[in-house]
Structure 1
Amino acid sequence: MRFCSRAGALVAAALFCATALLGGCAVDETGEPPPSDALYFPVGVAAHPDGRYLYIVNGVFDRKYNEGTLTVLDTYERRLLTGATQRIGLFGGELLVARRSGESAVEAFTVTRDDNRLFSFEVTADAATPDGTGHFGCGGRRCGVPYDTFGGDGFSGDPYGLAFDGVNLLISHLERGVVSRWERGGGVGSLVFGCAVNLTNGASSLARHPVLGWAYVTDRFGQQIQVVEPVALVEQALSGAVNRDSCRFQGQSGITVDPFTNRGRTRGLGFSADGTLLYVASNTDSSLRIYDTSVDSNGRPRNDLVAAVPVGNAPNVVRVAGLRGGEVRVPDGLDRGLVGDAVDTKGQGLVYLTAFDDDRVMVVDPTTRTVIARIDVGMAPHDIAFMPDVDGNLRGFVSNFQEHSVSVIDLEPGSPRRFQVLATVP
């Protein structure tokens, strides 16, 4: 999608700026408290690892309300759990819901750009009442209260993209093109700052190479995919000097998406589960670019372009469903639970790409490098999450940004309605 500055001209709510997702355009209103029973400019979505519950960040990009929300959809009953709704900041970014390997706790992380904050929640769905009250435990903190703030002490604001390896959380910051790493603190949902790096070409979304752990970051304004490697530091005990940060980022060779000066703006990206393929949404030429990112004998990714698959206008978020034939997932420190097992078994490694301006989800087969389905959903689709339904059939859940809804798609292999919308919530 196109970009506009958060400090740009004010517009009426009816003339909503379609670039708000990354630029933050909005009307300047004080607003009223947000409802607990509605979706409003939904952006990030994520599934509970044990299934049933879908988590949705509502960005409130027109400032009709004075806060955004994190809402919970019971996908079995297709209703929002009003008692579970948590208030967060405006202009929400991506959302992660994950469980670390060997642990029982489920954690949720999201960021908001209007107030430059990181939110964390402990998910305690089993302890909740039927209306969702108690769905979030928040590790002893009152739910809805952020514990980390960006923008101070020269640190970049505008947090947006997230990637998690079970120990460390990587965050991209749009404002000054920064990637930061946050490490596990003292308890569930607790993170402490590790290190950060300024990128030359700005930042949009990011993804972690499954094998190397390097961060691949799309360029907000140009044609580069920047690559940085987190490096652990050793305290200099003999000299008495101690590093302020626990790690640092080391730049690696990036990828030029398009050699032409005014081409190649990139948006979402994602890796295959084995780390051998990288999928990148190239907004300017409306394609899904596929790169060979397998690791060579020198321990470096090849980063070679192997295909550019034409897709719809304004390709946006990229999500990969499960495993290709014969593919083996690289362990990443996460327990993916029932959902992960179902997606790996039935997802076939297909790549799902939201086409924001076309109101569609495009499905790409990375083996044949072709679009195998074009799914009409709601207005301005943004993110997509995968989860089995109550009968074990694979479903996709798409946040429709301008329609304030979620589309439910049949993704079950062999189903006569595969790649069709089954329902729209609410």
Structure 2
Amino acid sequence: MCRRSRLFRLASAALLFGVGTTASVRAEYAYITNQGDDSVSVVNIEKGEVIATIAVADAPVGVATTPDGTHLYITHPEAGLISEIDTVTRTVVKTIDTGGQPFGIAVDDTAPVAGNNAQTRRLLFVTDWSRNAVMTVDPVRGVVIDLIHAGKSPAGIALDRRARRVFVANRESNTLTVLDADVPRRYADIPTGRAPFAVALVPNGERVYVGNVQSGELTVIDAKALDVVATVKVGRFPYGIAVTPDGARVVVANQQDHNITIVDALSLRTVGNIRVGRHPDGVDITGDGSHALIANWFDDSISIIDLSTLKERTRVKAGKGCRAFGSFIVRNR
């Protein structure tokens, strides 16, 4: 949770998982939060270079993009703020004071409008580390409109827009809380491994993966039945998780091993371990599933991994203390 100088912060198989990856990268951009120098690095993934740096409020950590890629939202746990960035102008257009410690974040562009379900609006779901809750934020008005109790020290969060469920990893409760996205109620609290931190949802909504930092494993959960179906050993301190768009592979950043683990989603076996920079944290995957990007927190760099060769294609210098915890790749631009 703190800056580096304050130590660690903390169906059929074909239908379910689809096909493999391709070798090319579209012109996509990664927005990398740099907790140590209060900035966001904009990376052209195809070229493998930083093309812009955006100054933001203190110590940015979490990040989430809108589905259309026009805006993204950044959390600042130490300042109790959320920043909104316009990806066209690459400027901060709004800062929202939430209080607490906003950490993980997800964007919902399909939230129904009360009294008129034919209309939708944008909402943000944000974990609040210190208040053991999930905030619902109206980014248009810039206000917190609800605060829902979760477990202790909630961190990662994922939204299933179709099923209208929110999944929250509670680091100090060893549980995954499942919330209703539209009314303030809980569906379930599901036991996980020790210190769950990151959460990733398969695009078709069938599974949820939870990275358990202290037990070094993934908890695999049936997102409909809300049951644990498997536990998979990965590396030490899995802090970041992402799933390829076809659901076939899970990419896990192991902070204490300085590598990533690639897990085959069908067999739930490891198919590769790839060395990256020191203390990898946030993970995201390009829209075509060909490359994974890893924020190396202690190296101030981004590893771009070719998922067809399972090799690091290049390493890009970012800002100080890069975290990029969440969904940070802007697609469809």
TM-score by length of 1: 0.63
Judge which range, 369-378 or 90-99, deviates more. 90-99
2:2 counterpart of 1:19: no
Partner Cα distance (1:211, 1:195) in 2: 21
Q: Which protein is richer in strand relative to its size?
A: 2
SS at match of 1:85: strand
With over 3 angstroms needed to count, the CA separation of the structure-2 counterparts of 1:200 and 1:314, relative to structure 1, is: closer
* Partner residue, 1:80: 50
2:64 counterpart of 1:96: yes
Q: Please give the residue correspondences for 1:250-399 in structure 2 after superposition, counting only pairs within 5 Å.
A: 250-257=185-192, 264-294=194-224, 302-324=225-247, 349-387=248-286, 394-399=290-295
Partner Cα distance (1:200, 1:108) in 2: 26
Partner Cα distance (2:175, 2:260) in 1: 25
Structure 2, unaligned stretches of length 5 or more?
11-24, 110-121, 318-333
**For this pair of structures, how many residues does the alignment match?**
291
Q: State, as a whole percentage, how many aligned pairs show the same letter.
A: 18
Aligned partner letter, 1:405:
S
> Contact conserved, 1:170 with 1:180, CA < 8 A, in 2?
yes
SS at match of 1:207: strand
> Contact conserved, 2:246 with 2:289, CA < 8 A, in 1?
no
Partner Cα distance (2:107, 2:307) in 1: 25
2:80 counterpart of 1:150: no
SS at match of 1:221: coil
* Partner residue, 1:422: 313
Partner Cα distance (2:74, 2:197) in 1: 18
Query: Which digits, 9 at most, give the CA deviation of each residue in 1:105-161, with x for residues without a partner?
Result: 71111111221111102211xxxxxxxxxx42xxxxxx346421122xxxxx11110
Aligned partner letter, 2:243:
V
> Contact conserved, 2:154 with 2:169, CA < 8 A, in 1?
yes
Partner Cα distance (1:91, 1:150) in 2: 15
Partner Cα distance (2:154, 2:221) in 1: 19
Aligned partner letter, 2:105:
L
Partner Cα distance (1:275, 1:146) in 2: 31
SS at match of 1:357: coil
With over 3 angstroms needed to count, the CA separation of the structure-2 counterparts of 1:191 and 1:411, relative to structure 1, is: farther
Query: Which digits, 9 at most, give the CA deviation of each residue in 1:344-371, with x for residues without a partner?
Result: xxxxx31111101000111111110111
2:153 counterpart of 1:182: no
Greater relative contact order (Cα < 8 A, sep 6+): 2
Partner Cα distance (2:153, 2:292) in 1: 31
Query: Which digits, 9 at most, give the CA deviation of each residue in 1:397-419, with x for residues without a partner?
Result: 1110000111111113xxxxx11
Q: 1:196 aligns with which of 147, 157, 163?
A: 147
Aligned partner letter, 1:150:
T
Partner Cα distance (1:146, 1:312) in 2: 38
Aligned partner letter, 2:277:
G
Aligned partner letter, 2:203:
A
> Contact conserved, 2:135 with 2:146, CA < 8 A, in 1?
yes
> Contact conserved, 1:178 with 1:203, CA < 8 A, in 2?
yes
* Partner residue, 1:121: 85
SS at match of 1:368: coil
Q: 1:207 aligns with which of 140, 158, 170?
A: 158
Query: Which digits, 9 at most, give the CA deviation of each residue in 1:94-114, with x for residues without a partner?
Result: 2122344xxxx7111111122
Higher-Rg member (1/2) = 1
Q: 1:221 aligns with which of 135, 157, 172?
A: 172
2:15 counterpart of 1:51: no
Aligned partner letter, 1:224:
T
Aligned partner letter, 2:47:
E
> Contact conserved, 1:119 with 1:147, CA < 8 A, in 2?
yes
> Contact conserved, 1:51 with 1:387, CA < 8 A, in 2?
no
SS at match of 2:299: coil
Partner Cα distance (2:151, 2:106) in 1: 20
With over 3 angstroms needed to count, the CA separation of the structure-2 counterparts of 1:407 and 1:203, relative to structure 1, is: same
With over 3 angstroms needed to count, the CA separation of the structure-2 counterparts of 1:423 and 1:50, relative to structure 1, is: closer
Query: Which digits, 9 at most, give the CA deviation of each residue in 1:287-341, with x for residues without a partner?
Result: 11111122xxxxxxx11111111110001111111124xxxxxxxxxxxxxxxxx
Aligned partner letter, 2:296:
N
> Contact conserved, 1:88 with 1:145, CA < 8 A, in 2?
no
Partner Cα distance (1:203, 1:145) in 2: 27
Q: 2:307 aligns with which of 411, 414, 418?
A: 411
1:374 is displaced (CA, Å) by 0.6
